[in-house]
Structure 1
Amino acid sequence: MMAFLAVARERSFTRAAAKLGTSQSALSHTIRGLEARLGVRLLTRTTRSVSPTEAGERLIGSVGPRFDEIEAEIEALGELRERPAGNLRITTAEHAAQSIVMPALERFLPQYPDIHVELSVDYGLVDIVAERYDIGIRLGEHLARDMIAVPVGPPMRMAVVATPGYFERRTLPRTPQDLTGHNCINLRLPTYGSLYAWDFEKDGREVKVRVEGQLILDGMNAIVRASLAGLGLAWVPEDVVSRHVEAGTLVRVLENWCEPFAGYHLYYPNRRQPVPALTLLVDALRYRG
């Protein structure tokens, strides 16, 4: 069962074998034996991919969570060790990784040398249970349901900026609707394949604008760089561009339409017994205001 779950979740005999520390041939033999014993095919294999059959999906849904509980309880025995230990996986977006996670890890990891952290930077809205992450970090409005949520950052504000040279050729926008006449730099959301809408609020009135422009990017740093190069208007967290605004290399507009909103939250599955390493990391990331 452990072999089957590994292959089904990794969608690859190669990755599953590496994870389990065995050979692909031994793993394939184990799966064939399980299928023969159950009398049903659990995996559909092609030369390029592996995917669960209907029976396989049913088995994953019914048995997988129980194995996760067993694994969590075994890892929880680490609290009996003199030093906390374990492997933790985090998924978050670029801005949160740089502004929140990495500064916390710089303080946390030297204190706990037996705790190992894998950080995945992704703008997609990842299903942390299906992808076997221990922690997800996203904006409060994007939190998954049925999760324990913990604030890890202060309230945030967005900023709309462009270079002084850009505005020499165009009129400054006075309202969010004016952005439709500007060259805006878009962010692509991998989860849905759509472009991120720019949200604004003023005096309780919310406005969502689908902007257009010559450039579409998939990362915050790339958007700031493009804006500094004069390629258009950027809509980014204000802390990312504050030093550029102060230096005069970027000009901020529509500031009165950018009100504070709930910042980043950490979330994780509601386990009955969180492993000590997870508890310690959550506490290290917690925002205390």
Structure 2
Amino acid sequence: MYVSRILVNGVNKDLVKQIKGLFSELGYWIVYNDPDIIISVNSINNTIRKYFAKFHNKIIINVVPDGSSVIPLTKEHSGGSLISSFLADSLGANLVLTTSTGVKGLYSVEEFSWLNGFSIYGYDRKIVNSLNKKLVTEGKVNVYVDSYKGNYILYDGYSLVDHKTKADLIISENVDSMEDKSSNRLYLIPSGIYIGIRYLESTPLDVLVYSLRMTLKSLYILNDRIDYIVVPSSLKNDKKLHQITKYYYYNIIYGSDVDERSSCEALLKELKVKVLLKDVRRAFGVITCLGVK
């Protein structure tokens, strides 16, 4: 579900350069081939003409040449609005949303999952569309939490219920418990969010907490949820790693003692984790990266 490979192109070269810098500083990959996201600084007609035929299944975002408006043209529910929202805020631009949930200021089911760091198990477009319609028309989607102890946020329109028979969405860590897969409800499972982090032992605890939070926020995961923190084994005796549990619910994985010049990404690649956000220096020399598995 999460995407991080961005192609930026368009007629305003200064604005293109600015947008590339914004996303690169967050850890996104700026690419020229095989993008997940296309940001086109152009007229809507020219953007459609240039990219729709080849990239209709990707997130396509249009930025008008003067930078005054940002419009997600495809996959608004599947990350398009979230990426566009960050871009609009950064540019001081108007964000133009066109889906029924976006117009009402509600997060779709897909966006609810993204923001909370979940994946939709056995994605069924028909059920997703039905629940998004229910969110708009009735203003309420019911959520049941089953065998999950991590953080989550109930955004506007999402309400907690006390039994799964009342639920539209079920948050669960146990795939085996999903006995009613044929019903008109969806299961959300943790996406397996890994953050690799390299730092000096003298780094203050609050700096580590801030760096982790900024890493999650860079991918628009807003509930401070991490499944695994991966650090070099040389930090095994650092008490701060366990003090962080006051802020996050997570497991610690100790990777190899990599050379100081090695990348943070090496910690995740060693675990065969798909790296989404590359190495970024956050604060006081703390380096983080993020991946999913």
TM-score, normalization by structure 1: 0.26
Q: What is the TM-score of this pair, normalised by structure 2? A: 0.26
Q: Which has the larger radius of gyration?
A: 1
The structure that is helix-richer by fraction is: 1
Which protein is richer in strand relative to its size?
A: 2
The higher-RCO structure (CA 8 Å, 6+ apart) is: 1
